Each structure stands twice: as C-alpha cells, then as structure tokens.
Structure 1
C-alpha cells in the first residue's frame, strides 16, 4: 500500500519553501511561549495543561493538519498535475494511503514533537503531562490528516474550509460548547491524554476513552476510504 515514489513526491511538495516556513513558525511560537511562561510562573502543572490543551492541541495541531493534509494532494488536483501520477501503474488506494502517512508524519513531527518538548520545558513532564499531550497530538495528527486529505480531494477551497474548521470549530466551539465537544477531534485526543496521565493530572475530556477511540478510528478510516473513492472517480483525458 505504501509507495516510496509517491511518498518522495509528496514530501517534496509539503516541504517546499513557503509551506516549510509556516510549518516551522507555528511550533517555534509554541516553544517561545512555553519558555516565557516557565520563566514567569515556574513549573506549574495546571498552567502546563492549559497551554498544551488550550493552545497546542486545540489550535496548533489542527492548523498544521490543515497545511499537511490539504497540501498532500490538493495542489496536484488544482493544477491538474495529478493526472501524471494517475497515469502511472500505481493503485489509487496506494496513492491515498501513502499521502495520508506522509501528511500524518509531517503533522506529528511539526506538532507532536514540539508539544512534547514544550511540556518538558513547562514542567519537566511532571505527572506525565508532556507525554500525555504528545500522545494525544500524535493520534490527532492522524485523524486530522485523513480529514483534511479528504477535504483536499473534494474541494478546491480545501485550505480555506480547513482553516475555518480548525479555528472556529476545533479551537473555539469544540473547546467551549458542551454539546459540540463530542464531535471534536481535540476532545477525542484529549480523552487519550487523560488516560495516559492518570487522574492526578489536570487533564479532562468530555468524551469517554472507548467512545474517543471509536470516533478517531471512524474519522481516520472513513476519511481515507472516501478520499480513495473520490480519487478513483477522477478520469484521465482519453479514458472511457
């Protein structure tokens, strides 16, 4: 299912100069803020959880997911260069799975790793908070990548729609509105963070762990399946 050639082309597209700059700025901002907060407040578990949950998991991870997920395939569809890829003897399911893995890996590197480092900077991983949020960010990276990869195959405005979703639904509504929290990737990932850290940490989710696992699997699997199906409907010039 994994195709090295497709992966190499996708990595090259995602890590182009403009996208790479954006991908680096966001985690750098998190680390700067983490260092400043530690300098002003010292090691504080509650503050650490608020920053990693309220900013990193709710805003940073979905934003990077938008960049990586839509960027893995959206531009190729928009400019028509995807036809060259589809003309090769490569299964379209293999293309989608490979692009998903690359997008998820990119999101994890630029989101989950900085979250882990920021957690250690903030409180030295007291009560496993840094590790818990890093696990949550990694799982969320996969779900967001599948979701935004699908979006990239169905809309030419995938980046705009993705940004609206990330900034309004995940960062705002999914964090504050009780009923909407059940449908938030952030809250599903937060449930896993709560499980990893244990009851002593200041981490809580509105979704139970079994429900979160099921919903994460549905979004990841469903997004990948439908993205593959959409790609199969694309026809090359001259195909019947």
Structure 2
C-alpha cells in the first residue's frame, strides 16, 4: 500500500519553494513567541500550557494539516494532472495511502517537532508538558492529514473549507464551546497529552480510550472514503 514514486512526487510537490515558506512560517513564529515569553516570564508551567495548547495544538497543527493534507493531492486534481497518475498501473487506494503517509510525515515534522522544542524553551519539559504536547501534535497530525486529504478529493475549495474548519471549529469552538470540544480532534489529542503529562498539568474533555477510538475512526473513514472518491474519478478527471 505504499508506492515510492508517488511518495517522491508528493514530497516534491509539498516541499516546493512557495509551500515550504508557508509550512515554516507558523513553526518559526511559535519558536519566536516561546523564546520571547520565556525571556519575559521565565519558566512557568501555566504559561507553557497556554502557549502550547492555545497556539501550537489549537492553531498551528490544524493549519499545517490543511497545507499538507490538501496539498498532497488537491493541486493535481485542480490542474487535471491527476489523470496522468491515474493512467499508471497503480491501485488508487495505494495512491491515497501513499499520499496520506507523506502528508502525515510532513505535518508531524512541521508541527510535533517545533512543539517539542517550544515546550523545552518555555519550561524545560517541567511536568512533562513539552513531551505531552508534542505527542498530542503527532497523533493530531494523523487525523488532520486524513481529514484534509479527504476534503481535497471532495471539493476544489478544499483549502478554504479546511481553513474554516481549522480556524472556526478547532481554534474557536474547540477551545470555547463545551459541547463542541468532545467533537474536536484537538481535544482527542489532548487526552493523550493529559495521560503523558503530570497529574493536573493538562486536561481534556474526552477520556483517552474514547479519544483513541475516535482518532482511529476518523482517520480510517476519511482514508477509505478518499480512496473511493479517487476510484470513481475517470481519466477525464470527473466522476
């Protein structure tokens, strides 16, 4: 279910000159903010939790997921070049799985690693906060990549739809509206962070077993349906 050539082409597209600048912008901003906050406030666990939870996990991770998830296949569908890929003797579910794995790798690299470094800058991993949020960013990267890859197969406006979801649902409702939190990838990922962090350091509205089931379900369902959508595409690029 993994095709090296498809993976290489996908990496090349995702890490192109213009997209790499966008991918780097948020992690660099996170690290700058973390360094400034540490200089101004010193090592403070509550501040570290606010920065990593409010900016890194709630905003940066889903936005990078939008860029990587939609960028893994969206441009090829939009410009019609996907027909050349579909004409090759490669199973379409294999194409989706390969592109998803690439999107996950890129999202993790540009979100989980900077989150870990930011946490170390903020409080030196006191209360295991840096490791906890890095792990949460990693598992969230998987679900976000699958969800936004699916969006790219459903609509030509996947980036806009993904940004609305990331900024409105995850960053706003996922933080502020109690009922919506249980349906947020952010909160599911926070359940893992809560388990890893010191008792009371991080809280989530979802129990860890439930969160893991929901993360797996969303990832599996989105990947399967994206494969079905791609399977129904004709060589003319339309269903």
TM > 0.5 fold call: yes
Aligned to 1:211: 210
Q: Which runs of 4+ in 1 moved over 2 A?
A: none
Q: For 1:136-155, what aligned pairs fall within 5 Å after superposition?
A: 136-155=136-155
Inter-partner Cα distance in structure 2 for 1:200 and 1:166: 27
| Alignment partners' CA distance in 2, 1:200 and 1:122 | 18
Tell me how large the CA RMSD over aligned residues is. 1.2
1:121-143 Cα offsets, whole Å, 9 max, x none, are 00001111100000000000000
The Cα of 1:212 is off from its aligned counterpart by 0.4
Which residue is 2:188 aligned to?
Answer: 188
Report how many aligned residue pairs link the two structures: 238
Deviations 1:142-173 (A, max 9, x none): 00000000000000000001001100100001
Q: How far apart in 2 are the matches of 1:200 and 1:155?
A: 42
Q: After superposition, what is the alpha-carbon deviation per residue over 1:66-125, rounded to whole angstroms, capped at 9, x for unaligned? A: 000000000100100000001001111110000000001000000000000000000001
- Contact 1:116–1:130 under 8 Å retained in 2: yes
Q: In the alignment, does 2:67 pair up with 1:67?
A: yes
SS in 2 for 1:207: coil
Name 1:19's counterpart in structure 2: 19
Q: Structure 1: state its 5+ residue gaps.
A: none
* Superposition TM-score, scaled by structure 1 size: 0.97
CA contact (8 A) 1:136 1:193 kept: yes
Q: Residues of 2 paired with 1:34 and 1:2: CA distance?
A: 37
> For residue 132 of structure 1, what is the aligned residue in structure 2?
132
Check if 1:110 corresponds to 2:110. Answer: yes
Kindly indicate whether the alpha-carbon contact (under 8 Å) linking 1:136 and 1:192 is maintained by their aligned counterparts in 2. Answer: yes
With normalisation by structure 2, the TM-score equals 0.98
